Amino acid sequence: MSEQVMTTEPASLESLRVLYQSDDYIVVDKHWDIRIDSKMWYEKLTVQAQLRHHFPKLADPSTYYGFRFCHQLDFSTSGALCVALNKAAAGQAYRCFKDRTVTKAYLALLRGWVEEETQTLDFSIGKNSTEGKTHMMCVEGTEGCENPKPCRTELTVLEYGLYDGDPVTKVLLQPLTGRTHQLRVHCSAIGHPIVGDFTYSSGADDSPYRMMLHAHLLHIPLQPQPLLVSAEDPFVPTVDPKWLPQRSLRTLKDTVEVLLEHRLEEERKVEEEAKEKARREEERRKANKKERFEEESEEQRRQCQEWLSQWAGD
């Protein structure tokens, strides 16, 4: 495991932090200024290049990039990123993401003090077709918003403080859907854009060294052993002295525990519902079988009576 420590320094080929490794998966703590992969010849520094550098023997020549990324993180988002080391592992993880059984939680610093401590952000998001903004997403009802789809994010306030003298709120964000730029668009929609988000602040927020969004928690319910990994909190004064916490509402540890318990409870309910459905299906199948058997028995009795009456007549 890499012993790289969190820093405000830019990424390098060496600066790969490995959070978890098995025969099937590697989870890395993606740096905040690096793409996962790139087809551009001039873009040499990517997570894929870091992986090739550190684990040349694990690269799969049958794939375009050498490694199968199970999900995506934006260029300017840091944190837990899961990589599958074979086709079967990639398929299993993909099914979990597709079925929305994966739990993800992000840490963020937001501009201003968010008054409502816990809230569900429920804005449909679509592509922005406005000239010059086609790389952006937008909420339903804004000009040029194309094909908006329902999106939900749970927001929990952790701390209030200052960043470089300005009021900010440290929050935990749990995306319940998976739209492009969802967290960034949702936070901007409630008037609290993510600190350092140049794109969704109309280019105004350009002074911090990074965008303050970090994939902290990743739980994939793989069989037989679920994968649960957390990437250390980078929004602490020891890493970035410009962040000055003033009032804490709840700890990150406790908040994550509650989130995971809630998710496990949901999974148990789904499992119980599936078992109940299977039980009802089995009962219905048995009842149908019994009904068919009784119908067949009645038919057999009728045929037997007919044969007996004919035989007696002979």
For residues 110 and 168, the answer to whether their CB atoms sit within 8 Å is: yes
Looking only at the bridges linking them, the beta strands covering 213-220 and 78-84 are: parallel
Q: CA torsion 37→52→17→99, rounded to 10°?
A: 50
pLDDT for 312 equals 65
Q: Name 252's Cβ contacts closer than 8 Å, sequence gap at least 6.
A: 107, 158, 172, 216, 233
CA atoms of 92 and 59, how far apart (whole Å): 19
Query: What are the pLDDT tens digits along the chain (314 aa)?
Result: 444 667 788 888 999 999 999 999 999 999 999 999 887 767 789 999 999 999 999 988 888 778 999 999 999 999 999 999 999 999 999 999 998 899 999 999 999 999 999 999 999 999 999 888 878 999 998 888 999 999 999 999 999 999 999 999 999 999 999 899 999 999 999 999 999 999 898 788 888 999 999 999 999 999 889 999 999 999 999 999 999 999 999 999 999 999 999 888 888 887 788 888 888 888 888 888 777 777 777 777 888 787 777 776 55
Q: What pTM does this model have?
A: 0.85
Q: How far apart are CA 212 and CA 32, in angstroms?
A: 9
Alpha-carbon distance 192 to 219, whole Å? 27
The whole-number pLDDT of residue 310 equals: 73
Quote the CA–CA distance of 213 and 183 in Å, as a whole number.
9
Give catalytic residue positions. 74
Residue 300, SS3 per DSSP: helix
17-250, CATH topology level: Pseudouridine synthase (3.30.2350)
Write down the pLDDT at residue 2: 44
Residue 1 confidence (pLDDT) = 44
